[in-house]
Structure 1
Amino acid sequence: MEQRGVILKVIVISQFLCTSVWFASNGVINDLIANFKLTNNALGHLTSSVQFGFILGTLIFAILNIADRYAPSKVFFISALLSALFNIGVLWQGSHLTSLLIFRFFTGFFLAGIYPVGMKIAADYYKEGLGKSLGFLVGALVLGTALPHLLKGITNTLPWKSVILITTCLSIAGGVLMLIMVPNGPYRKQSQKLNLLAFFSVFRNHKFRSSAFGYFGHMWELYAFWAFTPIILKTYSDLHPETIFNIPILSFFIIGIGGLACILGGYISQTIGVKKTAFIALLLSCVCCLISPLMFTLQSENLFIIFLIFWGMVVIADSPLFSTLVAKNAVPEIKGTALTIVNCIGFAITIISIQIVNSIGSFADANNVYVLLAIGPLLGIIALSTKPKSAKKLK
């Protein structure tokens, strides 16, 4: 038990360090726009490029059953090194929008060997209490994602390139730590052969399908909210000129507080159940989406920040719970592949929502555009509430 506790800490730290490259370009987006003469909508394109790379990476990892056929820690290590390599490529002085999109794409591609593989490693060590364990793990992802905003906020006196350099070094350190400290888990069942049909067969199970669809609805909202958090803060400050925000620092706290929510959700799930806890979090984040236009009318900046902090908590609290449900309802031999498949589809959905918000927000009232994010949670709630046909007949 003590060894598992140490292993979980190492996995969490490694996950935090390596996922810091995920939103590295978002943390310095204004500097990228100024230095490489990009347009103002570059944020949506660069974010989507990372997501698209992650999608293709998870698709290939899933089809080839990488996480189930090879030692997960080695896969994690190699992926961490390669994602760091492409992350630092952003510093190339000859860059333009196309090259930046390519660097961010491959950063995302190799993150496919970090985030879902990290969950797979945790699942190999924890059969019981997986929800709580993944709560810590996804919490680390949240903090890693938010870190570039914090680095930008505290390094205003230093060149913006320091954010890219620091996140690159952190990714390498995380990969090395995982390789050295984390052997194969006791519950790992290695897949002995390539199973190209695993990508499709996992969805035959109703419980797995329900959990996956709930996760897809959650993902429609999550990354769009994270990507546009700085824009939401700027929009409010433009509407209320007397307001002075440190946008990078506030973005870090609004996104980063979700890490605490993941941990709290994990503990709550041990009392009321994983599925019920996920349902409540999804419902609350849906409400936040629906009332989001009202937040721009708040005269108190403190109430505005409190609302965003609450939204930042409920928007991510269900993520480790959905991953727990997916892992529990997958065939053990293809558990890693199942987690990777669900990540692949989920992140594909994030591109659609990010681009829709990015496009509509450029010509319509940006204050109302975030209502569209409620579509995902609504569909996720329906998926979680749907029972199999056999169960309906028994009634």
Structure 2
Amino acid sequence: MKQKSYILPVIILSQFACTSPWFAGNSIINELISKTGLGTELLGYVISSVQFGFITGTLVFALFMLADRYSPSRVFLVCALLAAACNMYLLAESITGWGLLLARFGTGFFLAGIYPVGMKIAADYYEKGLGKALGFLVGALVLGTAFPFLLNGTEFGNDPRLIIATTSVLTVFGGLLLFLFVPNGPFRKKSSELQLSAGFQLFKIPGFRRAAFGYFGHMWELYAFWAFTPFAIQSFNQLTSNQVSVPLWTGIVITLGAISCALGGLLSQRYGSKKVAFTSLLLSGICCLASPLLFQCNSVLFLGGWCIWGMAVTADSPQFSNLVASAVDAQVKGTALTLVNCIGFAITIASIQLLASLTTVLPAPLCFLILALGPLVGLWQLSGHKND
């Protein structure tokens, strides 16, 4: 069935707009901590609160099969509006430490109705070529993640309120755009009844299980790398007396991941999702192991290496989602994607907290080596995956 040409661009634009609050608080984290009186030792908890909210949200969405039982476009809109409201709460003058943590938790919770549901909507429209479509879609997520950092690296970053307001307005716009222009897809098969154990039964499917565990290895590395890239750049500046812009280059490193997602989606059409994911994991693992050496280089080589890592660490994400979606029946694709996201993001909390602890006891150049465990697990799982 021929799709309307604007469907995929609208989904991509909406995904970008609605995921922009994800790291909005992180991009101005020092201002928020100062405003609420929290100590810097709680930095990891503030960062992880979004992840914990997302995990809780995806677990609720998966258990109740919301994206499979109800119109995913409507779910997307409602969650976009609520995520924007939580994000805007950061502008409250009297916000407390607990208020900050709850606001970031709420943002993450409602992002559970945006990121995996957006992939579910794409799967409802693209039965073939889903790897390519998800490459662009996850690229939009990555760009949305980078947007607050890019904004903070410009003159607009002088006013933290502008970053929060801009990302909140974008989220409302994205939710409305998708709801108005993307109806239920032609390949959508609605689940008529609630099956609380349906998601966890999926792990009995070998192809799903291998793809899921490969994704979990990828997630161990990804968000910890993103969350602590500002720390890495700042540490490099301190070690070498350079003046590299932390927010600008953090935004650039993450933005390059959006390009690699799209490129990986295109390459998957020729080589298959498994090969693209395997190559990406291998390259990111090598970058991880080489990270201590990058801190000994000049700024050009350090930033170049970090940018290559930023591209490699994301390119496999949409291909794992394609492998997951391709391994299950249409009636439970939304649940499968949401459940895998739920567990994957739970793993990110462990890696973020571990890395946060290591930064207090190890020299900065050695901290990122622990992330190599993720690519190793992912490569092991992919080596047993028979299908593209």
Give TM class, smaller chain: over 0.9
Deviation at 1:195, TM superposition (A): 1.0
Contact 1:140 1:259 in 2 (8 A): yes
The answer to whether 1:206 aligns with 2:206 is: yes
Contact 2:69 2:192 in 1 (8 A): yes
Aligned to 2:32: 32
Aligned to 2:244: 245
Aligned to 2:73: 73
Aligned to 1:292: 291
Number of residue pairs matched by the alignment: 387
Alignment of 1:317-336 (within 5 A): 317-336=315-334
SS of match in other structure, 1:22:
coil
Contact 2:157 2:163 in 1 (8 A): no
* RMSD of aligned Cα (Å): 1.4
Aligned to 2:275: 276
Contact 2:27 2:148 in 1 (8 A): yes
Q: Give the Cα–Cα distance (whole angstroms) in 1 for the partners of residues 141 and 44 of structure 2.
A: 20
Comparing 245-254 with 111-120, greater Cα deviation is found at: 245-254
Contact 1:323 1:339 in 2 (8 A): yes
Contact 1:221 1:377 in 2 (8 A): yes
SS of match in other structure, 2:19:
helix
Query: AA paired with 1:275?
Result: K
Comparing 219-228 with 267-276, greater Cα deviation is found at: 267-276
Aligned to 1:350: 348
TM-score, length of structure 2 as denominator length: 0.97
Deviation at 1:158, TM superposition (A): 4.1
Query: AA paired with 2:261?
Result: C
Query: AA paired with 1:162?
Result: L
Q: Give the Cα–Cα distance (whole angstroms) in 1 for the partners of residues 51 and 282 of structure 2.
A: 25
Aligned to 2:265: 266
In structure 2, the CA distance between the partners of 1:387 and 1:336, relative to structure 1 (3 Å rule), is closer
Residues 237-281 of structure 1: CA distance to partner in whole angstroms, max 9, x if unpaired? 00011x111211111110011000001101111111110110110
In structure 2, the CA distance between the partners of 1:340 and 1:27, relative to structure 1 (3 Å rule), is same
TM-score, length of structure 1 as denominator length: 0.95
The answer to whether 1:313 aligns with 2:311 is: yes
Query: AA paired with 2:284?
Result: S
The answer to whether 1:111 aligns with 2:111 is: yes
Deviation at 1:30, TM superposition (A): 2.0
Q: Give the Cα–Cα distance (whole angstroms) in 2 for the partners of residues 52 and 81 of structure 1.
A: 20
Q: Give the Cα–Cα distance (whole angstroms) in 2 for the partners of residues 166 and 8 of structure 1.
A: 24
Contact 1:76 1:117 in 2 (8 A): yes
Query: AA paired with 1:326?
Result: V
Q: Give the Cα–Cα distance (whole angstroms) in 1 for the partners of residues 55 and 360 of structure 2.
A: 26
Residues 206-249 of structure 1: CA distance to partner in whole angstroms, max 9, x if unpaired? 011000000000000000000011111000000011x1112111
Aligned to 2:146: 146
Query: AA paired with 1:278?
Result: A
Q: Give the Cα–Cα distance (whole angstroms) in 1 for the partners of residues 198 and 351 of structure 2.
A: 27
Contact 1:4 1:125 in 2 (8 A): no
Deviation at 1:80, TM superposition (A): 0.1
Contact 1:83 1:107 in 2 (8 A): yes
Contact 1:41 1:358 in 2 (8 A): no
Q: Give the Cα–Cα distance (whole angstroms) in 2 for the partners of residues 5 and 328 of structure 1.
A: 23
Deviation at 1:381, TM superposition (A): 0.8
SS of match in other structure, 1:211:
helix
Deviation at 1:372, TM superposition (A): 0.2
Query: AA paired with 2:112?
Result: A
Selected match of 1:341 from 339, 342, 345:
339
Query: AA paired with 1:201?
Result: Q
Q: Give the Cα–Cα distance (whole angstroms) in 1 for the partners of residues 187 and 83 of structure 2.
A: 28
Q: Give the Cα–Cα distance (whole angstroms) in 2 for the partners of residues 43 and 131 of structure 1.
A: 36
In structure 2, the CA distance between the partners of 1:157 and 1:306, relative to structure 1 (3 Å rule), is closer
Deviation at 1:106, TM superposition (A): 0.6
Aligned to 1:181: 181
Q: Give the Cα–Cα distance (whole angstroms) in 2 for the partners of residues 43 and 219 of structure 1.
A: 20
Q: Give the Cα–Cα distance (whole angstroms) in 2 for the partners of residues 380 and 83 of structure 1.
A: 31
In structure 2, the CA distance between the partners of 1:71 and 1:251, relative to structure 1 (3 Å rule), is same
Q: Give the Cα–Cα distance (whole angstroms) in 1 for the partners of residues 44 and 135 of structure 2.
A: 28
Q: Give the Cα–Cα distance (whole angstroms) in 1 for the partners of residues 288 and 160 of structure 2.
A: 32
Contact 1:210 1:383 in 2 (8 A): yes
Deviation at 1:69, TM superposition (A): 0.3
Contact 2:151 2:157 in 1 (8 A): no
Alignment of 1:361-380 (within 5 A): 361-380=359-378
Residues 124-159 of structure 1: CA distance to partner in whole angstroms, max 9, x if unpaired? 000111000000000000000000101111235642
Contact 1:91 1:164 in 2 (8 A): yes
Contact 2:156 2:163 in 1 (8 A): no
Contact 2:199 2:336 in 1 (8 A): yes
Aligned to 1:232: 232
SS of match in other structure, 2:359:
helix
Q: Give the Cα–Cα distance (whole angstroms) in 1 for the partners of residues 156 and 173 of structure 2.
A: 24
SS of match in other structure, 1:368:
helix
Deviation at 1:34, TM superposition (A): 2.7
Contact 1:44 1:227 in 2 (8 A): no
Structure 1 residue runs without a partner (length 5+): none
Query: AA paired with 1:315?
Result: V
Residues 273-328 of structure 1: CA distance to partner in whole angstroms, max 9, x if unpaired? 11011011011111111111111111x21111110110000000000000000000
